[in-house]
Structure 1
Amino acid sequence: MSRNRKSGTVTIIPNLSIIDIAEEGKGVGKADELVVFVDKAVPGDVVDVRLVKKKKNFAEAVIENLQKGSELRTDPFCQHFGTCGGCKWQHMGYDAQLQFKHKNVEAALQRLAKIDTSAMEPILGSAENKYYRNKLEYTFSNKRWLNKTDMATPEDGDVALEMNALGFHVPLRFDKILDIDHCYLQADPSNNLRNQVRAYALEHGLTFYDLRNHEGNLRNLIIRTSSTGEVMVVVVFAYVEQEQIDGLMGYLKSNFPEITSLLYILNQKKNDTIFDQEVLTYAGRDHIFEEMNGLKFKIGAKSFYQTNSNQAHELYKITKEFAGFSGDELVYDLYTGAGTIANFVARSVKQVVGVEYVPTAIEDAKFNSKLNGIENTIFYAGDMKDILTRDFIAEHGKPDVVITDPPRAGMHADVVERLLEMEAEKIVYVSCNAATQARDLALLKEKYEVTRIKPVDMFPHTQHVENVVLLTFRGAPELSEAPEATV
């Protein structure tokens, strides 16, 4: 490492070579024994960096000067890149993104689960890497994040510290919102809807929510679109009069006839969650429909559905392929959500038993089965570790195949233990977090062998990646016979 130079309390490391990229999307370099995580750095870069945090064995840094740009670098396409917390890999070509996502999954499985990944299949990229999301949630705030341009050109000789914004949270700043002009994540009419809602609110004096003092009229805006062309808009109000609600909702109804489902919520809690709030229908239906593989799915304001619709279809096809159904299997679908995977595979098996923690999701799952004329699914709501008991398995039968798609935290240890007791012939484990998946696979290795691995990119320009693993039952390890006792 070149000698650090200090300016006051500032530490600069010159000519740092970026050799890798971390799971959180930061470039990785090494200076002697110090591992340095560099924001917005790309493998292949040579950079001068300024340390912003230093621990014993690692440090975090920002680029002071790009000495040599990597061949993997590309120009970010979004004006909000660097401040917005999303799409952190825009400055790296998509093929390179896929390469490093594949590598990160492989490293997690090798390091944490000691799994042989030699037969790991190539990552499946997303056909669309712009406008691929079907849902976005924006936040209103009277505390807009001020960028360098704002600070350099103050209005009336002073920077207004309280300015309205409708957009996304700035990373690590819960009360600061980045005002969004154009977002490349969701297709039309998303951008126009958001911008027109903001313009209406400003023109008619609707106040934007204060995230610290919990005051203001407007709180959140949720926009959902579907492959069928339907649009859902949910406006979340806080402290507001009905006349103000009717004004904004009436404006949306008149100016955006393409809205299929126009809903609103009154939320005066101190958090943004809507799952315990009543959803009120202003116009149209209280839901929209999504289609996949000839199936229709009802999507409500609180429904879970994979946010990349087209790539979700590919993910489910891989899941089904890994399972290798013959037609007479009993399948357990754990963490079933709105029953999308359960209904997707139902016509290829004898029966599917789905389990999910969220009761409203289970109601959606039941509705979706009925909507598609599927009669061989059963769904249960409750905590997985409490539902999946020996009595439950005795009642419903030992599954031939288990499909599990848990949240980022992975499966509870009790659930893993129950899977080991059930001894299903196959487990297809779908995960959005390779680290927690590896942790669970390490435990399942007691009786299972990992036979197929396939990463799937659901979220281009981010570090996130899904991974599908097929585990095949091989039985418990045999105990070696004890030697005969000698006299």
Structure 2
Amino acid sequence: MSRNRKAGTVTIIPNLSIIDIAEEGKGVGKADELVVFVEKAVPGDVVDVRIVKKKKNFAEAVIEQLHKPSELRTDPFCQHFGTCGGCKWQHMGYESQLKFKYNNVEAALQRLAKIDTSSMEPILGSAENKYYRNKLEYTFSNKRWLNKEDMAALDAADELEMNALGFHVPLRFDKILDIQHCYLQAEPSNSIRNEVRDYALKNNLSFYDLRNHEGNLRNLIIRTSSTGEVMVVLVFAYAAPEEVNGLMEHLKATFPEITSLLYILNQKKNDTIFDQEVITYAGRDHIFEDMNGLKFKIGAKSFYQTNSEQAHELYKITKEFAGFKGDELVYDLYTGAGTIANFVAGSVKQVVGIEYVPTAIEDAKFNSNLNGIENTIFYAGDMKDILTGHFIAEHGKPDVVITDPPRAGMHTDVVERLLEMEAEKIVYVSCNAATQARDLALLKEKYEVVRIKPVDMFPHTQHVENVVLLKLINGIA
């Protein structure tokens, strides 16, 4: 291996072979015993890299020269690639992305849970890898992220538009990348965002200052559904009533296809809206999503999988793994808006759903009533506090547990309760293979893993869902 050379205080590693890809789209190479994470590198690349950060056992680097491009490399299709915090695998072909997502899940299960993955099933790719999201959240800022071209223009003209409506630049909470076109959500998403920005600039509405907490406009949320409905939520900070009404009326007139036009007045120092009043300006306070003949109400605060079509595939796999016969009592942990619970309700005796967020449980109950489903029951509260021995005695021991926790995985108290309950089957759906593997390692005390299938919900990112079926050892299945 070539030795490192230093140019002044800059360390250059020549002819580094990229052998893997890590989270956040960074290629991985090895120089002697040093693991090097390289921005925008693809497995198969041979590159000279410049070290930008060095620790004891690893370093971070950027490409100085690309000697041999990988066969997996492809041209990014988005003008914002490399600066925007999303779609960080866009420089690698989609089939290759699926391969490395599969490998990452497999490695996590083997390394952290010591699970035999020889029977792991092929990853299910997303039929659509552009315009697949049904929800995007944008941020207004009076401090736009400036690239090299912007800085050159600023030096020449001493004046530059600093307002932005877009996404946070990674690791810079107060800098927003102004988005011109986003390939994540289909029209009218881009048109609405750009029109909001143009109206605000023309009418001198101030963009939010993330450091000083002042300004008129704060956030924009756009939700779409497979039924063709559109929700737009404007979040204002310190706007006057005439400023609010002016923008809302303009959107109502310009985009008659908007089904639900809402706004929020948020003057807190954080962007969360779950404790804020949502005001309906025009249309309904919700839109509807359709899945497999079931209708789901989606409000401004509702949780719903952001890839609608792939969510249907994920839930079909979950249902198949459970292998319902029709007489099961099912516990659906972390039920959210009850999407999985209502999806499987027609195939079982009863579903008991538990979720931390009270508004999500209200949505779950509404969705059951909307679809004429009478065999679901839902509870709101902290999972480890609700799922007690008394609760199980009251509702019965479940035959099947479906659990779909947040990225942090399940609390150890919840895992302990699952071990005590001894349900015949557990179907564990996870968006984080590492925390899933941690929990599976604990469940191995009484359960064996019998099926594993990754599902890609988020093309061009490192994220991947994984579905695991566990069966009680010596249990009846």
TM bracket (short chain): over 0.9
Q: 2:203 matched to 1:213?
A: no
1:319 is matched with which residue?
318
Report Cα offsets for 1:427-448 as digits up to 9, x if no partner: 0000000000000000000000
- Report if the CA contact (8 A) 1:151-1:159 is conserved: no
Please say which of residues 256-265 and 7-16 is displaced more in the overlay: 7-16
Two-structure CA RMSD over aligned residues (Å): 0.9
1:236 is matched with which residue?
235
CA distance in structure 2 between the partners assigned to 1:187 and 1:22 by the alignment = 29
Report Cα offsets for 1:185-237 as digits up to 9, x if no partner: 00000000000000000000000000000010000000000000000000000
1:24-35 equivalences under 5 Å are 24-35=24-35
CA distance in structure 1 between the partners assigned to 2:62 and 2:383 by the alignment = 42
TM-score by length of 2: 0.99
Please say which of residues 112-121 and 20-29 is displaced more in the overlay: 20-29
Tell me the SS of whatever aligns to 1:95.
helix
Shift of 1:157: 3.3
How many residues of Structure 1 are paired with residues of Structure 2 in the alignment? Answer: 475
Shift of 1:153: 2.0
Unaligned runs of 5+ in 2: none
Tell me the SS of whatever aligns to 2:154.
coil
Shift of 1:23: 2.9
CA distance in structure 1 between the partners assigned to 2:257 and 2:270 by the alignment = 30
Q: Which amino acid aligns with 1:78?
A: C
Shift of 1:156: 5.5
Percent of matched pairs sharing the same residue: 88
- Report if the CA contact (8 A) 1:133-1:186 is conserved: yes
Shift of 1:158: 2.3
CA distance in structure 2 between the partners assigned to 1:80 and 1:240 by the alignment = 30
1:97 is matched with which residue?
97
Shift of 1:426: 0.2
Report Cα offsets for 1:409-433 as digits up to 9, x if no partner: 0000000000000000000000000
- Report if the CA contact (8 A) 1:150-1:159 is conserved: no
CA distance in structure 2 between the partners assigned to 1:153 and 1:238 by the alignment = 31
1:395-410 equivalences under 5 Å are 395-410=394-409
Please say which of residues 58-67 and 401-410 is displaced more in the overlay: 58-67
Q: Which amino acid aligns with 2:274?
A: F
1:222 is matched with which residue?
221
- Report if the CA contact (8 A) 1:331-1:351 is conserved: yes
- Report if the CA contact (8 A) 1:433-1:465 is conserved: yes
Shift of 1:6: 1.2
1:482 is matched with which residue?
none
Shift of 1:99: 0.2
1:483 is matched with which residue?
none
Unaligned runs of 5+ in 1: 477-487
Tell me the SS of whatever aligns to 1:24.
helix
Shift of 1:151: 1.3
Report Cα offsets for 1:118-157 as digits up to 9, x if no partner: 0000000000000000000000000000011111222663
CA distance in structure 1 between the partners assigned to 2:249 and 2:321 by the alignment = 49
2:71 is matched with which residue?
71
Shift of 1:159: 5.6
2:16 is matched with which residue?
16
1:108 is matched with which residue?
108
Q: 2:457 matched to 1:458?
A: yes
TM-score by length of 1: 0.97
Shift of 1:325: 0.1
1:415 is matched with which residue?
414
2:42 is matched with which residue?
42
CA distance in structure 1 between the partners assigned to 2:466 and 2:25 by the alignment = 18
Q: Which amino acid aligns with 2:418?
A: L
Shift of 1:103: 0.3
Shift of 1:459: 0.1
Report Cα offsets for 1:381-411 as digits up to 9, x if no partner: 0000000000000000000000000000000
- Report if the CA contact (8 A) 1:129-1:461 is conserved: yes
CA distance in structure 1 between the partners assigned to 2:155 and 2:183 by the alignment = 29
Tell me the SS of whatever aligns to 2:317.
helix
1:392 is matched with which residue?
391
Shift of 1:475: 4.8
CA distance in structure 1 between the partners assigned to 2:252 and 2:280 by the alignment = 12
Q: Which amino acid aligns with 2:115?
A: I
Q: Which amino acid aligns with 1:34?
A: L
Tell me the SS of whatever aligns to 1:243.
helix
1:364 is matched with which residue?
363
